[in-house]
Structure 1
Amino acid sequence: MAQNATDLLVGASTDFLQHFSPFNGMEPEALAYLARHAVLAFHPRGSELLTPAMGEPRHLFIVQRGKILARQTGPTAVTEYTAITLGPGECFPIGAISAHRPSTNAYVAVDDSFCFQIGADEFHELVRMSPVFHRFCTQYIATLLNQSRQQLQASFSQRAAEQQTMTTPLGQLIGKEAAWVTPDTSTRAALEMMNERHVGSMVVADDDRRPIGILTRSDLLPRIVLPGFDLTRPIAEVMTANPHQLPASASAYDAALAMATHGISHLLVVDNDDRLRGIVSERDLFSLQRTSLRQIRAGIDSAQDIATLQRASGDIRQLALNLIAQGVGAEQLTQFISALNDALTRRVIALALEHHELYGIDFAWFAFGSEGRHEQTLSTDQDNGIVWQCPELRDAEPIRIRLIDFAREVNEGLAACGFPLCKGNIMASNPELCLTLEQWKNRFAAWINEPDPQALLNASIFFDFRVLHGNERLGHQLRRSLNKMTRANPNFLRLMASNALKAPPPLGRIRDFVLEEDGTIDLKKSGARLFVDAARIFALRIGIESSSTVERLRQSVSKSGVSADEVAAMVDGFHFIQMLRLRSQHLESEDGTTRDNRIDPDTLNELDRRILKEAFRQARKLQLRLKLDYQL
């Protein structure tokens, strides 16, 4: 009878655990081991389950019912209070028990609560026997994010079934073996092979099958037919040298982004030794509601008027929405959107240049803000400017007037394509943002040397810049000057850090989240901004060239001695908030409501609520580093 009762308890524990990550994906023997060793304990309201004073944790706790308050202790709190609540299915203290150290948090029962607990020895045995649980403990937020993407794909299962999965490795997309010839093969022989094999491209490779060039069907008319090229001459004379290639392990998304960035329709797939495996074409990658990458990019590059670019802008949005439905990650999505929007912006600039005589003027078009960071979402306005140099012995003012007239046409063209005019007039047509290189340097220096609140706000916008069109050297010179000035003025960075800490993560002491009056969280102001602000300060302190938040975090935080897993968790937290913003904007486009960057946490499923809490915890860790670094 006692054995039957034990079996019932084990069964009940298993049933509960299977509703939560990572237990719902654990190996059956590992889950059975956990259920056999889990003891259900009652903790009355107000009781302490674990504190730093108790030393190294003796148990892993899994909340079964009720709520547990995790409160940071000691002098390292970032805000007036640093606390979050844990609900059913959540575990603690994973970091402390894994590292054999006391917990940095105190855990107190908010309500009468029940928790499963297993001993420290059983925890480490579970980590050893279960790869799923081990990965969960070392890559906590990444594991949850993967499950969230799977849930999203399931919710769009019908649409996703009709579309190719963007996470598929390229090696799985390769069909028949690629046709290839050596560089000394006659052009006639290569064309005959293309015809016989009914392929649209011919790879040129060395004797070890390492690609050195490619000839595609679209090259035939301009390179062979019209010039009357002698077909007995080697194909090396008409091929495109150094063709774009990716490893077989790269994803379909990686190939799509490369095609979007470089305006190409074929990519070579190579193995680990750079030997040819095959070719993937744009046709292999996309059948997204008949809106293909090649069509969009070709439409942008060949557009002769703004009306054509308006249609391309709509296609970019539709393609992005389809990728959201497939569960493509936020980093890839924002890169994808930025790459196509960059191409569209450059085409608007090219069309405007046809109406303005700017020959001989050395200038560059700047993107600021989210566009400057490669982080555009589906709802974004314009933030841009111009940097230029005045030739010797020429009057600067007439040049400035011509550039401003040109910029006004570009700003209006972008507005017509769905990028609203900036309400704050942060646009290149504003004379205050059409400056020479020296004027930009002086402007930055004034903000750094006299950092009043407006200067700090300006820095948060204009220091995230990159060149979209024109002389990139001007951008590099301004970046080097900016990094030199900020490193020489640590007080400015300290004030930026103090300013960044004024917006704490919206984590509640009792409730999961601190909401605004309308019951929502602004994921831009109270979410993404926290990561962006911290990453900017780290990058300026170290002198990093990149304007991307993710690259700033990866390069700067890792140089500060933070582990790779911690950096990855911070990046994943930022990505998840970006994904929620994109998903909210996706829903806005479907039902006509205005959500933009706001989200009601009560509308999220339990998994996404849990990840959002973890994302805000990562933001809090970044702010803690700022606070400690600058003694705030």
Structure 2
Amino acid sequence: MKNTISERIFDFLKDFPPFDVLNKKQLFLVSSNVKVTYIEIGKTVFQQGEIPHENFYIVKDGAIGLYRTIESDEILVDICDEGDIFGLRPLVQNDHYLMSAKANEESILYAISVNILKEIIENNEKVNKFLIASFSTNIKTPYAKNNNGKLFANIETLEDNNGNFSDFQTAEYSKDPVTCLKSTSIKEAALIMSSNKVGSILIVEDKNPIGIITDKDLRLKIATGFVSINKKVIEIMSSPVITVSEKITTAEAQIAMLKNKITHLCITKDGTPNSELTGIMSEHDIVVLQGNNPSVLIKELKRAKDVETLKYIREKTSNLLNGYIEQKIPIVFVSNIISEITNAITIKAIELSLKEMKKQPPVKFGWLALGSQGRKEQLLVTDQDNALVFQNVPDENHQETKDYFISLSEKITKKLSIVGFEYCPAEMMASNPDYCLSLKEWKHQFNKWITIPSEKSIMMCTIFFDYNLIYGDLGLVNKMSKSIFNSIKSYEIFLNFLGKNALINPPPLGFFRQFLVEDDGENKDQFDIKSRALMPLIDAARLLTLSHKVKDKNNTIERFQKLIEIEPQNNDLYLMCIDSFKILLRFRTEQGIKHKDSGRYINLKSLNKAEKLKLKGCFKPIKDIQELIKVRYNLSQML
């Protein structure tokens, strides 16, 4: 008689690593011995510190959160969903659970005996490699559906450095460690720890670390009365300390802590105990970094039930951005990651708003991000720019349909405002009836802006031409794009007007190579890096790709890269524009983080000479690209 349950398990497991590399006999052995377990929401599968079960688990349905408790903080490290394995490492390494596993949703788990897996490991090299790669990066499973079906951490991925980026980036650590001398009393050291609100203190000699005391030492050795609190710190310090270099990655730090069964690493200049102490890294630092992992944030977003959760994740994203910028992670990578999270926040805000509507959308629609979010260049939290397009309807149904989508848009923009994206001062939002239009109306609007160019209509084009579909029907957006190019084709002089607009802001240096700053207003004598440096490059890239009828690029760097393909004779200029844009975007982001604002206006007095020279070096490509535009579109007569 056939075991239909076993067959269903077989069909499920065969699509997920490491089961996808098993032969049929091995996979049937596994699926025949699976225990199916139902876990209610909020229930625990296992606890941190618990002796491991005889089984590891794979999620069939639902979601299991992995939590790490350090002191009194419970930190979400990861979310396991369909196809994810968890609880395997302690079984193979014969160690206690390092995290707790708790159901974030009603879940169905497949419990698989580790003994069966061990038998398979001995006869299947691919499974063995999978486990080695998984353990080396401390990922609960190297597989994720949103990674195009690839292993997160297989050997090839590790070599290509395309895996979980947080595991390969330089780990974050405290650069101001609390220290004392070996002559210090335990009581004095405890008071120093208390006043600095830290859980450890390093004992140094000639600036080199020779030992460490943690809260755990105080509890086990002092509070119990085994050692007098008046003794010297050398009586209870752990020594020698484990030291690593400043360039250690998160994965390497995790391995070092596991290998040495410790919770703190000392950072020294050359990575040895005989060099100057520069920092300390704790297990808590690593867990917090894992909790800020982009993939974890995206998973949290997908399961968010309210706008408060969206706001919380947006704040965690800001922490992620700060870490990336501080560690000099490539700005293109940073921009892509932050944009994906921002888009995911917007999508969830839309989904939550749709659930609040009394009925389903009457027709297909598309939600568009505009401006910097549309170009995937929004790193800092700025105001929102968005629009909505909906399918054409008969005239008698138009107002009712539009009212529905305006009501929906009001809910969405309100949620985005709560999250931290303030309302647009100019009301360029889908909640404004002017920007919540049918496809027919949008075609008419774009055609009007293009064929009757004015200062305002050109400005609107520079904003609305950078739209990006965040949610909804792609077909509607494709038709919008096609109508724009048709209008430009019928009125090509529009490109000249767009070119004139691209020259509004001249190169940011005056005659004596002085920065051009604001003449008046609240930002008087400050440098506007957005208008005077970034926008000229953004406008130039948009204009030139439009003139070549490039439909699928709206990111500034991607536009210049496409222009290099189309115009190889201008290769050097466009490469210079890309480099300058990267530097300027990073500079603005750093300023925004430093001053907790949009980073747009910079007080030049706060910059050192090197920073000013670096900025000035970005301005020559602006001058050169504007000269190219002036000649190409014969703009001398229009200026």
TM-score (norm 2): 0.58
- Larger RCO (CA within 8 A; separation ≥ 6): 1
Q: Which residue of 2 aligns with 1:372?
A: 374
2:563–2:574 CA contact under 8 A, matched in 1: no
1:539 to 540, 545, 549: 545
How many residues in Structure 1 have an aligned counterpart in Structure 2? 413
- What is the aligned counterpart of 2:492 among 490, 493, 497? 490
User: Corresponding residue for 2:558?
Assistant: 551
Deviation at 1:480, TM superposition (A): 1.9
Mapped partners of 1:446, 1:476: distance in 2: 19
Give the aligned residue type for 1:447: W
Q: Counterparts of 1:198-597 in structure 2 under 5 Å? A: 215-217=83-85, 225=110, 267-269=152-154, 271=156, 280-281=163-164, 284=167, 287=286, 289=289, 291-356=292-357, 357-391=359-393, 395-517=397-519, 518-545=524-551, 546-589=553-596, 594=597, 596-597=599-600
Q: How far is the alpha carbon of 1:294 from its aligned partner?
A: 3.7
Quote the offset at 1:428 in angstroms.
0.6
Q: Distance in 1 between matches of 2:453 and 2:146?
A: 38
Structure-2 separation of matches of 1:199 and 1:520: 59
| Aligned partner of residue 568 in structure 2, secondary structure | coil
TM superposition shift of 1:219: 13
Instruction: Name the SS for the 1:510 alignment partner.
Output: coil
Which amino acid letter does the alignment assign opposite residue 630 of structure 2?
Answer: K
Aligned counterparts, 1:17-36, within 5 A? none
Contact 2:301/2:310 (<8 A) preserved:
yes
Provide structure 2 residue ranges, at least 5 long, that are not aligned to the other structure: 1-16, 35-51, 60-81, 89-105, 121-129, 138-142, 169-249, 251-285
1:279 to 1:201, Cα distance in 2 relative to 1, 3 A: farther
Instruction: Tell me which residue corresponds to 2:247.
Output: none
Is the CA contact 1:382–1:419 (under 8 Å) kept in the aligned structure 2?
Answer: yes
Write the letter of the residue equivalent to 2:434: E
Matched residue type, 1:584: Q
Distance 1:283 1:551, change over 3 A: closer
Percent identity between the two aligned chains: 24
Given that 1:584 and 1:599 are in contact with CA atoms closer than 8 Å, whether structure 2 keeps it comes out as yes
In structure 2, C-alpha distance between the alignment counterparts of 1:576 and 1:347, rounded to whole Å: 32
Q: Which runs of 5+ in 1 are unaligned?
A: 1-176, 203-213, 236-244, 253-257
Matched, 1:608 2:448: no
| 8 Å Cα contact 2:590-2:599 kept in structure 1 | no
2:27 equivalent in structure 1 = 187
Name whichever of 599-608 and 371-380 sits farther off: 599-608
Change over 3 Å in CA distance of 1:494–1:378 after alignment to 2: same
Contact 1:505/1:616 (<8 A) preserved: yes
Identify if the C-alpha distance between structure 1 residues 216 and 369 changes in structure 2 by more than 3 Å, giving closer, same or farther: same
Per-residue deviation, 1:482:
1.1
CA contact (8 A) 2:292 2:316 kept: yes
The residue identity in structure 1 corresponding to 2:577 is M
Question: Cα distance, 1:307 vs. partner?
Answer: 1.0
Contact 1:378 1:582 in 2 (8 A): yes
Give the Cα separation in 2 of the matches to 1:291 and 1:373. Answer: 24
Deviation, 1:268, is 4.9
> What SS is found at the alignment partner of 2:368?
strand
* Correspondent of 1:626 among 591, 611, 629: 629
Q: What is the TM-score with the length of structure 1 in the denominator?
A: 0.59
Aligned-partner residue type, residue 428 of structure 2: I
In structure 2, distance between residues paired with 1:261 and 1:528: 33
Preserved contact between residue 349 and residue 410 of structure 1 (Cα < 8 Å): yes
Would you say the 8 A contact 1:415–1:421 is kept in 2?
A: yes
Cα distance, 1:277 vs structure 2: 8.6
1:472 shift after superposition? 1.3
Instruction: Tell me the CA shift for residue 225 of structure 1.
Output: 3.6
Runs of 4+ in 1 over 4 A off after TM superposition: 177-180, 188-193, 195-202, 218-224, 258-266, 268-271, 274-283, 391-394
Asked if 2 retains the 8 angstrom alpha-carbon contact of 1:266 and 1:282, the reply is no
CA shift for structure 1 position 585: 0.7
Q: Which amino acid in structure 1 is aligned with residue 566 of structure 2?
A: K
Shift of 1:269: 4.8
| CA contact 1:449–1:492 (8 Å) conserved in 2 | yes
Query: Shift of residue 558 of structure 1?
Result: 3.9
CA contact (8 A) 1:346 1:469 kept: yes
Alpha-carbon spacing, 1:215–1:313, altered in 2? closer, same or farther (3 Å): closer
Structure 1 residues 262 and 181: CA distance shift in structure 2, 3 A: closer
Aligned residue identity for 2:402 = R
The answer as to whether partners of 1:368 and 1:462 remain within 8 angstroms in 2 is yes
